[in-house]
Amino acid sequence: GEDVEQSLFLSVREGDSSVINCTYTDSSSTYLYWYKQEPGAGLQLLTYIFSNMDMKQDQRLTVLLNKKDKHLSLRIADTQTGDSAIYFCAERTPYALNFGKGTSLLVTP
Amino acid sequence: EPEVTQTPSHQVTQMGQEVILRCVPISNHLYFYWYRQILGQKVEFLVSFYNNEISEKSEIFDDQFSVERPDGSNFTLKIRSTKLEDSAMYFCASSVSGTKDTQYFGPGTRLTVL
C-alpha cells in the first residue's frame, strides 16, 4: 500500500517527554495503532485509537489524532531507558495493517 | 496472559530449499495473519486466513508461499523454494474476529537464506 510516514530516529534524555509522529494515508482508516519492538523481539501492541476520537490517554502514553491532516502522534511522558525501542505506527486497511518504517527511540541517561 | 508463539526463532536455509515456519495463535482467536519485515524496511502484510482458507493476500504472496492450519493449534507458512530475497523476519499474528479487531503479534522467526 501507500507509505505510512514516520521520522526514523529520535533521541531524548531520561525523564523528558518523547513525541513520535506519523502521517497515515487512508482517511477512512477506522483504527490506528502504535506497536513497540524491542531488540530481537516481536511487535508489542502499545495502544490504539478509534478514528472518531481526538485523543486517548493510557498511563504515560498519549495518542493525538488529527484526521484532517491524517496525522497521528504518540507522546511518552517521563521517558525511561526501558522505552528505548522502535515504535511503529499502523493504519487499518480493509484486510490488514499498513505499517510505517518505524521510529527508533533512544533514551539517554 | 495468552500470547502468539512462533518457532523456530531463527532459521537458516540454503537457496532453493523449502522452509516451514510455525505459529501457535492465541487459542480463542479465529483470524490468522503472516507479515514479513525485510531488514531496515517496514512490516508488510502477506496473507490472512480464516475458516481454513485464505481471506486476503498481498502481491508478495505468490505461488512459492502457502499457508495451512494442519491441526487445531498450529498455523504454518511454507516457502517452497527459498530465494535470497526471502531473508526477513516473519511475524505471525492473530485476532479474535475479523480485521476490525486488534491483531496480536508473535516474536517472529528470522529467516536467513544463503
- CB B69, CB B49: distance < 8 Å: yes
pLDDT of residue B42: 87
Interchain contact, A44 vs B102, CB within 8 Å: no
pLDDT at residue A28, rounded to an integer: 75
pLDDT of residue A51: 84
pLDDT at A2: 66
SS3 A18: strand
Residue ranges of chain B with per-residue pLDDT less than 50: none
Chain B: closest CA distance from residue A33 (Å):
9
* Predicted pLDDT at A64: 96
DSSP string, B77-91: EEESS--GGG-EEEE
CA–CA distance, B67 with B34 (Å, rounded to integer):
9
Q: Is B58 on the interface with A (CB under 8 A)?
A: yes
Residue of chain A minimizing CA distance to B32: A96
Q: Do A99 and B42 touch (CB under 8 A)?
A: yes
- The residue of chain A nearest to residue B45, with distances taken between CA atoms, is A96
Q: Are B42 and A100 inside 8 Å of each other by CB?
A: yes
Handedness of CA A88, A89, A92, A93 (dihedral sign): negative
For residues B99 and A94, the answer to whether their CB atoms sit within 8 Å is yes
Cβ separation of A96 and B56 shorter than 8 Å? Answer: yes
Average pLDDT, whole number, for chain B? 93
Contacts of A97 in chain B (CB under 8 A): 35, 43, 45, 103
Between CA B57 and CA B67 the distance in angstroms is 11
Question: Residues of chain A whose pLDDT is less than 50?
Answer: none
Q: What is the pLDDT of residue A1?
A: 52
